[in-house]
Amino acid sequence: MQTLLSFMSISDDPDIVTLRPNQPFFETLYTAAPLVIVGTRDPDGTANLAPKHMAIPLGWDEHFGFVCTPEHGTYGNVEQTGVFTVSYPRPENILEASLAAAPRVEDGSKPSLQGIETVDAEAVDAPVVSDAYAVLECELDRVIGGFGRAELVVGETVAKHVHTDAYRSDDIEPEALLEHAPVLTYLYPDRFASVSETQAFPFPDGFER
C-alpha cells in the first residue's frame, strides 16, 4: 500500500477538488482567523476604526502586522501619523466590528462609527474600542509591499493592555477563563464564532517554540 500511495498525486483523490489557477483559494472554504479593530486618526483628528482579520503577531517579540491597501483610510492614517492601535473585541461586540466595516459616505465621513464607543490610547494618539478584552498600541515600523494590491503594515508595540477577565494566570484554569471571556473568531469570508470550549494541545515531549 505504501508503494502504491507513493505514485499517487493529490489530484487522484476523488474527494479532492483541484481549483482553477485563477480561483481564489480562501473563497472556497472556511478558515479561522482573529478579528481585530485597528484604530487610527483621520486628518481632521476624528477616530477611524477598521476591522481586520489578516492580522498577526510577527515573531515573539514586540511586532504586530496587518494587511491593508493604500486605497484605505487606515493605511493613509498610519502612514501620516505613524501610529495605530489594535483592539480585540468580544463576541458580544460583533456589531461594533460590523459598524467599523461600513463604507464611507459621499463626504468621506463614516457615520457608522458613531455607534462605537471608544477611549483614547495612552502611549499613542489613536482610538481604542471600549471594553475590548485586549489592546495593543503600536508605532509604525515599516510597510512591506509586493503582495498584489495588499501591503503588510508592521508596527512595534509600545503599550499592551489585557482586561482582567481575559488575563491568563496560574490562578484560573483555561476552561473557566474561556467560558468567562470567550474569544471572537472570524471564519472568512462571512461567518464568526465565539470560542469558549477548547482542548489542550498534545505537545510532544521536549517541545520548544
Complete domains list, the chain, with CATH: 31-164 (2.30.110.10)
Amino acid at 164: T
Taking only the tens of pLDDT, the chain with its 209 residues reads 454 555 588 888 899 999 999 999 999 999 999 999 999 999 999 999 999 999 999 999 899 999 999 999 999 999 999 999 999 999 999 999 999 998 888 887 888 998 999 999 999 999 999 999 999 999 999 999 999 999 999 999 999 999 999 999 999 999 999 999 999 999 999 999 999 999 999 999 988 87
- pTM for the model stands at 0.92
Cell 472570524 identifies what position?
A: 186
Q: How far is the CA of 2 from the CAs of 5, 11, 150, in angstroms?
A: 5, 17, 42
pLDDT of residue 134: 97
pLDDT of residue 1: 47
Q: CA 167 to CA 164: how far, in whole Å? A: 5
Q: CA 175 to CA 24: how far, in whole Å? A: 36
